[in-house]
Chain A
Amino acid sequence: IQLTQSPSFLSASVGDRVTITCRASQGINSFLAWYQQKPGKAPRLLIKGISTLQSGVPSTFSGSGSGTEFTLTISSLQPEDSATYYCQQLNTYPYNFGQGTKLEIK
């Protein structure tokens, strides 16, 4: 199963609402997770099961979607949200990741 994220790069301002899309090459049920990664650090789980917010993650993050199209939304961008974001499917091995979306704060 291939995952295609868009856009690959995103530049936005503090307070903006941003959306990242992840498209799967086939259905993955609800086994879709989103991660945030900062340079040199391990990824951090943000969203599991398409839309469930991981404990400790700000409520400005949300996930949605079904079938083969999924989105990660940040409702009000903060400076600390500057990072690369990845989607991952855990329905079928190999548990592939999307290619990543680098988010820059203007």
Chain B
Amino acid sequence: QVQLVQSGAEVKKPGASVKVSCKTSGYTFTSYYIHWVRQAPGQGLEWMAMIKPSGASTTYAQKFQGRVTLTRDTSTATVHMELSGLRSDDTALYFCAREHGGDFDIWGQGTMVTVSS
């Protein structure tokens, strides 16, 4: 079945970087865009970025420009999200999601990133 499985929780210090992975399975990796969405504790959903696995082109929310980088590995059908210059307000649950032509139909289980000194 179609699945997105994310890497485990991370604890980082302010100023550090974090890299979260999203391993896909059950479908043709290059046929669907992958997006990243985050949710701070008690807050709503915030769209961050998108990657087209077929050609690796990306689109980033202006808020994260210069701090977030999406990459993909076609050999393992995995997308990586790296966020640098971490601050306490980057503490959040990070989700990857598959875009299915106008909706996000499959989501990863989420990865908790905690930024604390």
Contacts and interface: CB of A to CB of B under 8 A. Distances in A.
Interface residues of A, number: 25
Specify the main secondary structure of chain B where it touches its partner.
strand
A69 to B, nearest CB: 19
Contact of B44 (A30, A41, A54, A100): A100
A101 B74 CA distance: 38
B102 A97 contact: no
B107 A43 contact: yes
A33 B59 contact: no
Contact size range, B:
20 to 34
Contacts of A97: 37, 44-47
Contact of A42 (B46, B47, B100, B110): B110
Contacts of A94: 47, 61-62
A9 interface: no
Interface of A: 30-31, 33, 35, 37, 40-45, 48-49, 54, 86, 88, 90, 93-100
Interface of B: 35, 37, 44-47, 50, 59, 61-62, 93, 95, 97, 99-100, 102-105, 107-110
